[in-house]
Amino acid sequence: MATPSPQQLPDVESLGAEDLLVWAYEEFGDRLCLTCSWQKQSSVLVHMVSELGLPIDFVELDTQLFFRESYETRDRLIERYGFSLVRPHVITVAEQHRQEGPNLWERDPDRCCHIRKVEPLVSALEPYDAWASGIRRDQSPSRVATKKVEWSERYGVWKLHPVADWDEKRVWAYIKVNEIPYNPLHETGYRSIGCIPCTRPTTPEEEERAGRWAGSDKLECGIHAPSPLGEGASKPAASARDASGD
pLDDT digits (tens, 9 = 90+) for 94-140: 999 999 999 999 899 889 989 999 999 999 999 999 999 999 998 87
> Is residue 223 scored above 80 in pLDDT?
no
Q: Which residues are within 8 A (CB) of 166 and not within 5 positions of it... i.e. 6 or more apart?
A: 17, 136, 138, 174
pLDDT of residue 236: 33
Confidence band for 8, pLDDT divided at 50, 70 and 90: low
User: Out of 15-19, 133-137, 238-242, which region has the weakest mean confidence (pLDDT)?
Assistant: 238-242
Sheet holding 57-60, edge to edge: 85-86, 57-60, 32-36, 130-132, 157-160, 149-152
Confidence band for 1, pLDDT divided at 50, 70 and 90: very low
Tell me the C-alpha distance between 61 and 41, whole Å. 14
User: Are 149 and 9 contacting, i.e. CB atoms less than 8 angstroms apart?
Assistant: yes
Residues noted as catalytic: 221
Q: pLDDT tens digits, residue range 65-101?
A: 999 999 999 999 999 999 999 999 999 999 999 999 9
3.40.50.620, 1.10.20.10, 2.60.40.10, 3.40.50.300: CATH of 6-187: 3.40.50.620
The predicted model gives 207-221 an average pLDDT of 63
The predicted model gives 235-244 an average pLDDT of 32
pLDDT of residue 232: 36
pLDDT of residue 218: 54
The predicted model gives 212-226 an average pLDDT of 59
> Is residue 245 scored above 60 in pLDDT?
no
